[in-house]
Amino acid sequence: MKRYRNGEIWDFENEMSVNGDGGEVILGLDGGTTSTVCICMPIMPFSLNLLPDPLPVLARAVAGCSNHNSVGETAARETLEEVMAEALSKSGSNRFSVKAVCLAVSGVNHPTDQERILNWLRDIFPSHVKLFVQNDAVAALASGTLGKLHGCVLIAGTGTISYGFTEDGREARAAGAGPILGDLG
């Protein structure tokens, strides 16, 4: 699947209307050192008491590593772009249908990492799209606490990290320093 940056269309977008046929969607990505998963979901009203179970997933795409510390920035970008394009294509949507993109990626360890990825996403998506980039540990904690960032999470996969937030918003982490410093957490 051939893809373009800087506002040019992706191949599959040639075959659909500018606004897409699938309605408004959000993209959620879990990017790690082993694999990267992207899901495309429809926009729906949010209520903790009324969320459907299971949540409606329009499409799911999987690719390889998206941790820039492990494969370099160019390869990480290509992987992220590949899964987003595939999920949108499978769902019958395009970038103009997207209202928000949330990336939870291992290797996002500093605000400069976040800003670099946000700048790249701004080149791909229209200006109306809300963009969020966090370390994958933050998303793991939020998924286990229904969005309340209060508590601790431990990830022990290809890499390890422990991340926690207090009720007043202070945060702490151990490990997650990447392949050069190791995973001592």
Does 6 have pLDDT greater than 50? no
Helix locations, the chain, DSSP H: 68-71, 73-91, 111-124, 136-144
Per-residue DSSP letter, 10: P
Non-local CB neighbours of 10 within 8 Å, separated by 6+ positions: 1, 2, 3, 4, 85, 88, 89, 94, 95
Does 5 have pLDDT greater than 50? no
Under DSSP, is residue 171 helix (H, G, I), strand (E, B) or coil? strand
Nearest to 66 by CA among 29, 100, 18, 111: 29
Does 148 have pLDDT greater than 60? yes
Backbone angles phi, psi at 87, to 5 degrees: -65, -45
The domains found in the chain, sorted by start residue, are 23-137 (3.30.420.40)
Express each pLDDT in 120-146 by its tens digit.
Answer: 899 889 999 999 999 888 888 887 777
